[in-house]
Amino acid sequence: MKQRATATLIAAGLLVAGCASDDQDKEDKPKDPKPAVLKAARAYQSAANRLDWQSACKLSSARLRDGTVTECAERNIGPDATTSPSPSASKSSGSPSPSDSPPTYADGSTPDPLPSRTPTEPERADTGPISAGGVVKVPAVAGHPAGYGVLVTYTVQWPGKDAITKRRALRLVSEGGWRVDQHEDVQDGDMGRGSPVRAALSGG
């Protein structure tokens, strides 16, 4: 009788030890970060597309924000940001000064002036649903820390125009959660290459 009780206790002890070992293995196994990375990438791009810079800046790394969330948002919003071109674009496409002269072709003709936005035009294009995928590990480069690269895809359509597909590569780094540290456009010609995300994010 004593032998049977002893055997039962040993079996119970082994069962408990086995359960404890399984629980420990589950705790030690690192959690797959890809679902959280994809979620953060979609949230960032969604905020940027709807011009919600406060949310987009919160989802940006300290390096990309280059200041507080408020400062980052104000830089992106700027005065009349929804209708004004970027500073670099305004320098090249703004109204010429009286001293500027238009370029002249070899036959003496000049190009037609670029059309300007009319008051009836919408301030922004419509963007379609965002898909995110192609998660890859990306190494540190040009000041960007190592992290994960994600390909986000969505459509952009102006009224009366055909929708175009926009692709962007986002670098996400772990910084109190997954944050976007870099974003680069991905051209159609890059899609046939090994990893368009790595290629786009390796340029700095």
Residue 190's pLDDT is what? 74
Residues 71-95, mean pLDDT to the nearest whole number: 54
The pLDDT of residue 138 is above 90 = yes
CA dihedral of residues 191, 153, 49, 58 (deg, nearest 10): -90
The pLDDT of residue 185 is above 80 = yes
The pLDDT tens digits of the residues spanning 27-44 come to 667 789 999 999 999 999
Residue 82's pLDDT is what? 42
The pLDDT of residue 196 is above 60 = yes
What is the C-alpha to C-alpha distance for residues 188 and 190, in angstroms, rounded to an integer? 5
Distances (CA, A) of 8 to 13, 20, 47, 194, 204: 9, 18, 61, 59, 65
Q: Which residue has the higher pLDDT, 100 or 68?
A: 68
Where does the pLDDT of residue 123 fall: very low under 50, low under 70, confident under 90, or very high at 90 and above? Answer: low
One DSSP character per residue, 124-163 reads: S-EE---EEEEEEEE--BTTBPSEEEEEEEEEEE-TTS--
Q: What type of residue is 117?
A: R
Q: What is the mean pLDDT of the chain?
A: 76
